[in-house]
Chains A and B, each alone.
Chain A
Amino acid sequence: MSLSKKSTIIVENLRKKQMMESISTGKRLDERSLDETRPIEIELDVIKKASGSAWVKLGKTEVVAGVKVETGEPFEGLENSGALIITAEVLPIASPHIEPGPPDEETIELARVVDRGVRQSEMLELSKLVLVPGKIVYTIFVDCSIINVDGNLLDATSYAVVAALASYKVVDTGRTQEPPITTIPVSVTTVKIGDYLLLDPNIEEEACMDARLTITTNSKGSIVAMQKGLKGYFTVDEVKSIAVKAISKGEEIGAKLKELIYHGKKE
């Protein structure tokens, strides 16, 4: 059952006051401006046993994603389409506040929102992953391990999935097959603290946020998925301005991701 709960991270009133004062002058406590995202670092092929993998750092948030490719029967009703399964787990090594156990609702939401962005963007052309139509297809698993938590797991995990998917390789009957990639989806999360809108929150900002909106865009600049979170609200104007920002920021981050994934070799 979904339950309203207190934040696991407690930010003292004084610190929050300091944060609000700082935000009102357009600067955050970590010196970023309100719409500045943290630097993204991507290391590919860190796990040799996986068909593709990526170690992604978004500031101090770190996620490792690995791709495993299996062959199997297609899902019912999707006979001529490969399968894509995305999971995420916040590991107990990632923060003093995480305990081992079955995934809580936040982790389930995380995996589902990341999955929604990648799936709805049709990044991977699943119809090209069919071996014997109606009988045998490729199933692509992307499993994510969150290994250090410092806010904005949604975007960091999405970038890790995208990087791992874009770079996996399958050797089948002696031929190396590249993934059928059509677009690079970019997830951009905006949070609302008081009346201010901030991009890419760190953990301290997340502890103070009232509402969150994650928007995924594709390489054409269209919105493909969206998820509002937390018990705060947005006005119509706020949503519209967040959408405009997510599209322009998505283009910028998309270019950065392509550079980090392909090193200028492709696209």
Chain B
Amino acid sequence: MVQNRSLIDESGKRSDGRIIDELREVKINVGIIKNADGSALIEFGKNKIIAAVYGPREVHPKHMALSDRCVVRCRYHMSPFSTDTRKSPAPSRRETEISKVIREALEPALILEDYPRAAIDIFIEVLQADGGSRCAGITAASVALADAGINMRDMVSACAAGKVDDKIVIDINDTEDKEGGADMPVAYMPNLKKITLLQLDGELNSNEFNTCLEEAIRGCLKVFEIQRSSLIEKYFGDEKGLNE
């Protein structure tokens, strides 16, 4: 990708006023869908995404059930009004691929052997998209899974890093994604230190790649803190409540 205009000014500020290792403002609201077993609304910059988890529950059709573990189903979907030009409500090839990589990013964290013959359904609805929606979706879904009380090995936190004006920056926004040099979304289990999602669009040499990976993981750790405090807020009120 060839960049046509500069996206970082002389003072080191990005198009939305952030510095290179700064996340957009992130807010996570746990348990906002009353009918769901677990849910979370994430506002990640201008992204507004709801993740809802149903299950473990019976599998329909029954033949899809696995006798030794739980089936995980995942749907990532964008509302028609979520983008600049209307998006057709039918699932696109992009959404099909993202549903798959999100499921694969979350599955390593779930102890599926605990729920044989059952299904866990994860629904991610993008109400407003602003670049980095898959990462925000994973982050919200992971909180929703914890909210549903599903046995997990770790949280999954996601953040993208990328190259803008030949600098490695974290949490790529929409403009940087479309006009910048590279975009690398990463999902990470922060306590187990395992990478569960890794994609890249754009050119990076071997040094840039290593820096990009490390920066993305630092971003994931920042996201993890926000996930953690959102859950503490719902279940314990604050840090003090947790310690009691």
Chain A residues packing against B (C-beta within 8 Å): 1-6, 105-106, 108-109, 111-112, 116, 120-122, 213, 218, 220-236, 239-240, 243-244, 247
User: Which chain A residues border B121 with CB–CB below 8 Å?
Assistant: 1
B34 at the binding interface (Cβ < 8 Å): no
Q: Which of B195, B202, B213 contacts A120 (CB 8 A)?
A: B202
Contacts of A230 in B (CB 8 A): 104
Extra A-B contacts (8), CB below 8 Å, given A4-B66, A218-B203, A235-B194:
A1-B74, A2-B100, A4-B71, A116-B201, A223-B203, A236-B193, A240-B210, A243-B206
Interface residues in B167-209 (C-beta closer than 8 Å to A): 184, 189, 192-206, 209
B222 contacts the other chain (Cβ, under 8 Å)? no
- For A108, list chain B residues within 8 Å (CB): 93, 96-97
B206 touches A233 (CB 8 A): no
Contact B201 A235 (CB under 8 A): no
Of all chain B residues, the one with the shortest Cβ separation from A210 is B108
Q: Known A108-B93, A108-B97, A231-B107; judge A244-B206 contact (CB<8 A).
A: yes
A221 touches B205 (CB 8 A): yes
Q: Is the interface of B mostly helix, strand, loop or mixed?
A: mixed
Q: Which residues of A contact B73 (CB under 8 A)?
A: 1-4
Contacts of A221 in B (CB 8 A): 205-206
Task: Judge whether B199 and A227 touch: CB under 8 Å.
Answer: yes
A225 touches B108 (CB 8 A): no
Closest Cβ–Cβ distance, residue B134 to chain A (whole Å): 12
Q: How far is the CB of B94 from chain A (nearest CB, A)?
A: 8
Contact status A226-B184, CB under 8 Å: yes
B64 within 8 A of A: yes
- Give bound CA distance, A108 to B112, whole Å: 26
How far is it, in angstroms, between the C-alpha of A5 and the C-alpha of B74 when the chains are bound?
Answer: 12
Report yes or no: A223 in contact with B206, Cβ–Cβ below 8 A: yes
B24 at the interface (CB under 8 A from A): no
**Contact assessment for A109 and B203 in the assembled complex, using a CB-CB cutoff below 8 Å:** no
CB distance from A215 to the nearest CB of B (A): 8
Q: Nearest 6 CB-CB pairs, A to B?
A: A226-B200, A231-B107, A233-B194, A2-B99, A228-B198, A1-B75
Query: 7 A-B Cβ contacts within 8 A?
Result: A1-B74, A2-B96, A4-B73, A109-B101, A120-B1, A235-B194, A239-B195
Question: How many B residues, CB 8 Å from partner?
Answer: 45
Residue B217 interfacial (CB < 8 Å): yes
B interface residue numbers (CB < 8 A to A): 1, 64, 66, 71-76, 93-94, 96-97, 99-104, 107-108, 112, 121, 184, 189, 192-206, 209-210, 213-214, 217
With A and B bound together, what is the CA distance between A20 and B202 in angstroms? 36
Bound Cα distance from A233 to B193, whole angstroms: 10
CB distance from A217 to the nearest CB of B (A): 10
B-side contacts of A116, CB under 8 Å: 201
Q: Are A1 and B99 in contact (CB under 8 A)?
A: yes
Chain B neighbourhood of A122, CB < 8 A: 1
Decide if A231 touches B203 in the complex (CB within 8 Å).
no
Cross-chain contact of A2 among B75, B194, B198 (Cβ < 8 A)? B75
In the complex, which residue of chain B has the Cβ closest to the Cβ of A119? B201
Q: Given the known inter-chain contacts A120-B1, A218-B203, A226-B198, please indicate yes or no for A105 contacting B100, CB distance below 8 A.
A: yes
B203 & A120 in contact (Cβ 8 Å cutoff):
yes
Interchain CA distance A74-B69 in the complex, whole Å: 49
Are A223 and B204 in touch, CB under 8 angstroms? yes
Contact partner of B217 (CB less than 8 A), chosen from A106, A225, A236, is: A236
Minimum CB distance partner of B94 in chain A: A112
Question: Which residues of B lie under 8 Å from residue A4 when comparing CB positions?
Answer: 66, 71-73, 103, 107, 112
Which residues of the partner chain B approach A112 to less than 8 Å between Cβ atoms? 93-94, 97
**CB proximity of A111 to chain B, nearest CB, Å:** 8
B196: nearest chain-A partner, CB-CB:
A233
